[in-house]
Structure 1
């Protein structure tokens, strides 16, 4: 088995989870940024991961991988896309960016959702690090066993 494939799976997972943490932090940092009266300003973002493979049964993937002797290369790609969330209106008549009714538009960031997203992404990142370390340990043990002649 090629141990580099397990390394690359963990690396892809870590890069996606890091992007999720970065986007959640960006959304939280801009949650209280006032938008101009015409609605221009910060738009909340999200990370969307897409698989490059068609959905296939796990057993089919395993059989193909064993038959060819090569792993399955299915690294997902991800992108950061804006969310179409309606702005949050707060009544602040003295604010310089208030509209004619006295409301200021802030980005439609749900702080609770962003906090949960950040926490789950951090846990998933930690799980990928643990999987990478386990693969590394197994590869080193295999080298120790094979090099003991």
Structure 2
């Protein structure tokens, strides 16, 4: 397979990963102000962890896998390895009249920082746009290459 065709696989895997990242950010922002009656049940921000997969989307990179691939056929893909929760403690807020307030009058809010989430959303959105541009440019190069034989 041509190297140009591999670009679609790589960019496609990156688009998929950024889409998961954007969905996770949207979930975090939707739950940013959710209240809870305990720190254990408060919503915690989630973030995807990305990893590079070499040669195939199905098997993780190992020394043997990488050595088996020659330089011409080695292709890296982006894969979501998992989604982790932010370890920061939830915010405590004194609100004795709130229905979820504990005996001391505190409620617990999520540990999501909306400003950080917005910055992360802009970054994910731009990464997504960049990968779309890579795919469009590759498509144009392939079309121009095919048109060379027509003239």
TM-score (norm 2): 0.82
Deviates most, 44-53 or 112-121: 44-53
Query: CA–CA distance in 1 between the matches of 2:11 and 2:96?
Result: 51
Match of 1:65 in 2: 71
CA change 1:24–1:135 in 2 (3 A) is: same
Q: Trace 1:67-82 onto structure 2 (pairs within 5 A).
A: 70=73, 72-78=74-80, 79-82=82-85
Corresponding residue pairs, total: 140
Deviates most, 76-85 or 97-106: 76-85
**Aligned alpha-carbon RMSD (Å):** 2.4
Greater length-normalized contact order (CA 8 Å, ≥ 6 residues apart): 1
* Structure 1, unpaired ranges of 5+: none
Match of 1:8 in 2: 9
* Structure 2, unpaired ranges of 5+: 55-60
Contact map agreement 1:39 1:105 (CA 8 A) in 2: no
**1:61-118 Cα shifts (integer Å, max 9, x gaps):** 9xx424xxx2x23213212222222101111110111112211101100111101000
Give yes or no for the alignment of 1:113 onto 2:116.
yes
**1:130-149 Cα shifts (integer Å, max 9, x gaps):** 00000000011111113x16
Match of 1:51 in 2: 52
Give yes or no for the alignment of 1:138 onto 2:144.
no
TM-score (norm 1): 0.83
Question: How far did 1:38 drift?
Answer: 5.9
